[in-house]
Amino acid sequence: MLNNLCAMKKSKEKKNPAEKKKTAFIYSGIVIGALLLGTGIGVTIKLTTSQAEVDYTGFNPSAYQDDASKLLNEFQKNPKQDFSESELVNIGLEKYRQCENSYSIGVGAAETIVNQTIRNAQIKVGNQYFEESLSRSSMVSIATRVKQDGIGNGDLLYKGKASDTEIGEYPSEATYYTSDGYKENWGKTLDEMFIYIISDASVNQENCSKEILENGNIKITLDMNVDIASYYYKIQMKSMSNLSGLPVFEYLRHTYVFTSDMTLLYSHANEKYQAKMAGIAANIHNDIKYYYHANEKINIPQLNEQINYSIEGEIDYE
């Protein structure tokens, strides 16, 4: 079902060594900035030999996704039931999705040719949704905001620039997508919130774990199948970063922390993959921490209103 494609053909254009070095530097700078925006996380990057991407012809992602709403109902009826690690994560994520109000803050950094800062935010207020991604260095200044009013009413995407680590500047014009069009191009609608396919069929169960911490919180680690779990994520990354093709993952390892009643507190993504842009292949290591605030309300900002990305006082969950 998931067949490897042939690697991209090398360019036949000949350049002298100085030109090659200069071109590689320029392209790698572009790749770094674009990929950081696409993932919303810090990366370590080096140019490398291209790997063949996965062929998803005939792949049915819904066949691998659990019914999270059903799992949450089962948990609420019998929380002592023996759930697998992936089922527990789905229960916690679904409980978070169903909150009337919530927000999360993601903070990361990139060590590349130049240092690069990353910020990400999600906000839900009733039936309104918002996301922002910022990526900034001496070479790159990129920002996006997306707004969604209600479910099924489409999404507005604003592309601007990051004028500072935590400040984006946006034009008044937005690109409108229908809900189906946005998911087709960006992997998920804002009300879905989480991009990964999570189920027993999409994780390597022997490498997953559950731990009850001293404070009673539940820590779950998932080692995910690199081709199944990342399907929608790859679509998002390709569109966001204008990649030459879908990324190829080496590993996806995520940690989640929930309270004893499965209220989501924290997640940590540790992922390595290869992506291609402008003929350049790059090995990328993602590392970002997200802090979640279930049942807490902050207002969705106006177009050029700054978000408070401070995580002072947040618990170190690991």
pLDDT tens profile 55-109: 999 999 999 999 999 999 999 999 999 999 999 999 999 999 999 999 999 988 7
Q: Which pair of structure tokens corresponds to residue 306?
A: 């700054």
Is the pLDDT reported for residue 2 higher than 60?
A: no
pLDDT tens profile 189-236: 999 999 999 999 999 999 999 999 999 999 999 999 999 999 999 998
pLDDT, residue 46, reads: 44
Mean pLDDT is lowest, of 152-161, 168-177, 259-268, 304-313, for 304-313
Instruction: Please enumerate in sequence order all residues whose Cβ is within 8 A of that of 63, keeping only pairs 6 or more positions apart, or say none.
Output: none
Is the pLDDT reported for residue 278 higher than 90?
A: no
Residue with tokens 């990305």: 309
Sign of CA dihedral 255, 274, 44, 182: negative
The residue that leads in pLDDT, 52 or 227, is 227
Is the pLDDT reported for residue 27 higher than 80?
A: no
Question: What are the DSSP calls for 302-318, one per residue?
Answer: PTTPPP----TT-----
pTM, to two decimals: 0.83
